[in-house]
C-alpha cells in the first residue's frame, strides 16, 4: 500500500518530467539524429516563441479567462516591425520597431481585457473578436503583402546566438524567470491566483479584480508582441498570414503543464515542461518524416484529454 502511495506521489510531482524523459529516449531510439547538438539547440530555438506566449497564457488561464487572439497579435507584431523598419531604412536602430510592435499588441490586448473586465463579455467572445480585428489590421497595414526584413541588426534577435546557445531561447528563459518571480513572489501574483480561485471572495477581500484581469491581458499582449518580433526576425519577414494556430500551442502547453482552464491553478515550471513536450512532439514528427498535419490532431487530443482530467479532478474535489 505504501509503495502505491509513494509511486502515486512521485508521479504526481514528477510525472511530466518522467514523460518528457521517456519521450526523449523513444525519439532518440527512433531517430538517432535527435540527440545531436544541432537538433537540441534547434528545438530550444523553435520552442522559444510558443514558450513566451505560454507564459502570458498561464497568467490569463489562472484568472479563469482565455485569450485566443494571440496568433493574430503575433502577426500584427511582425507587420508593425516591417512597417517601421521600412520607414526608417538606412539606420541600424531597430529599437523603435521593437517598441512599436510591443506597444500596439499591448494596447490591442488591453481592449480585449477591458471587454472582459468591465463589460463582462465572455473571454472567448472578446478575444475571438480581437483575433479577427487584429488579423484584419495586419492585412490592412501590409496591404496583404509580407514585409521583407533585410536589417541584419534585427535578424540577430531571431537568428543570433550567445556562444552556441540560441538568443531566442535565452530571451525565453529570462522572461520565464522574471514572470516566475512575479507570479510566486509578489502581491500581484497572489491576486492573480485569488481572482481565478474565487472572484467573489477576491472582490470581498478588497482586490480590484477588474484591474488584475486588465493587467493580465496587457501582459499577454506584450508577450505576444515579443513573440512576434522573434518570429519575424527568424523568418526574415513580417507577414499578415503567419502564426495561425499559435494560440492553440500556447493553451496546449499550459494545460499539459497543469494550468487549470477553470482558473485558480497553474505553475510556470509546469508550463515550461508543457512547452518542451509540445516542441518535442513537433520535432519528433519532423525527424520521423510524419505529415505535419498530424501535429494538429495530436495537440487537439492532448488539450481535450488534459481539460477532461482537469474538470473531473476539480469536480471530485468539490
* Residue 147 near residue 238, CB atoms below 8 Å: yes
Q: Give the confidence band of 89 by pLDDT, cuts at 50, 70, 90.
A: confident
Q: What is the mean pLDDT of residues 147-172?
A: 95
pLDDT at 1: 47
For the whole model, what pTM was predicted?
0.94
Residue 163 backbone zone (phi > 0: left; psi -120 to 50: alpha; other: beta): left
pLDDT at 111: 98
Whether 187 shows a pLDDT value over 60: the answer reads: yes
pLDDT, one tens digit per residue, over 261-315 is: 899 999 999 999 999 999 998 898 889 888 877 877 877 787 777 777 766 666 6
pLDDT, one tens digit per residue, over 99-119 is: 999 999 999 999 999 999 999
Q: What is the mean pLDDT of residues 155-175?
A: 96
pLDDT at 301: 82
49-70: b (≥16 Cβ within 10 Å) or e: bbbbbbbbbbbbbbbbbbbbbb
Whether 68 shows a pLDDT value over 90: the answer reads: yes
- For the chain, what is the mean pLDDT? 92
DSSP bridge pairs for 45: none
Whether 318 shows a pLDDT value over 60: the answer reads: no
Single out the residue of 19, 156, 137 nearest to residue 72, CA to CA: 137
Instruction: Please give the Cα distance from 75 to 52 (Å, whole number).
Output: 15
pLDDT, one tens digit per residue, over 231-268 is: 999 999 999 999 998 999 999 999 989 999 899 999 99
Amino acid at each position: 500500500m505504501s509503495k502505491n502511495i509513494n509511486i502515486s506521489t512521485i508521479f504526481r510531482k514528477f510525472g511530466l518530467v518522467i514523460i518528457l524523459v521517456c519521450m526523449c529516449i523513444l525519439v532518440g531510439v527512433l531517430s538517432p539524429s535527435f540527440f545531436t547538438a544541432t537538433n537540441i539547440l534547434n528545438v530550444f530555438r523553435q520552442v522559444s516563441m510558443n514558450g513566451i506566449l505560454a507564459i502570458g497564457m498561464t497568467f490569463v488561464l489562472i484568472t479563469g479567462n482565455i485569450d485566443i487572439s494571440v496568433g493574430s497579435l503575433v502577426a500584427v507584431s511582425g507587420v508593425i516591425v516591417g512597417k517601421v523598419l521600412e520607414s526608417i531604412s538606412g539606420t541600424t536602430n531597430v529599437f523603435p520597431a521593437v517598441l512599436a510592435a510591443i506597444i500596439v499588441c499591448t494596447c490591442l490586448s488591453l481592449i480585449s481585457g477591458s471587454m472582459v473586465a468591465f463589460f463582462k463579455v465572455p473571454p472567448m467572445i472578446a478575444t475571438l473578436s480581437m483575433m479577427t480585428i487584429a488579423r484584419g489590421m495586419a492585412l490592412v497595414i501590409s496591404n496583404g503583402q509580407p514585409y521583407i526584413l533585410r536589417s541584419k541588426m534585427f535578424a540577430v534577435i531571431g537568428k543570433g546566438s550567445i556562444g552556441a546557445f540560441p538568443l531566442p531561447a535565452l530571451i525565453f528563459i529570462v522572461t520565464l524567470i522574471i514572470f516566475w518571480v512575479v507570479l510566486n513572489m509578489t502581491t500581484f501574483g497572489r491576486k492573480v491566483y485569488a481572482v481565478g480561485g474565487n472572484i467573489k471572495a477576491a472582490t470581498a477581500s478588497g482586490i480590484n479584480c477588474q484591474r488584475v484581469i486588465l493587467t493580465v491581458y496587457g501582459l499577454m499582449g506584450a508577450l505576444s508582441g515579443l513573440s512576434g518580433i522573434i518570429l519575424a526576425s527568424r523568418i526574415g519577414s513580417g507577414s499578415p498570414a503567419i502564426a495561425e494556430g499559435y494560440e492553440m500551442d500556447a493553451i496546449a502547453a499550459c494545460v499539459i503543464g497543469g494550468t487549470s482552464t477553470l482558473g485558480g491553478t497553474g505553475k510556470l515550471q509546469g508550463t515550461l515542461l508543457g512547452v518542451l513536450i509540445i516542441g518535442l512532439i513537433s520535432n519528433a514528427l519532423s525527424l520521423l518524416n510524419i505529415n505535419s498535419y498530424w501535429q494538429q490532431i495530436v495537440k487537439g487530443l492532448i488539450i481535450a484529454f488534459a481539460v477532461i482530467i482537469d474538470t473531473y479532478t476539480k469536480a471530485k474535489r468539490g
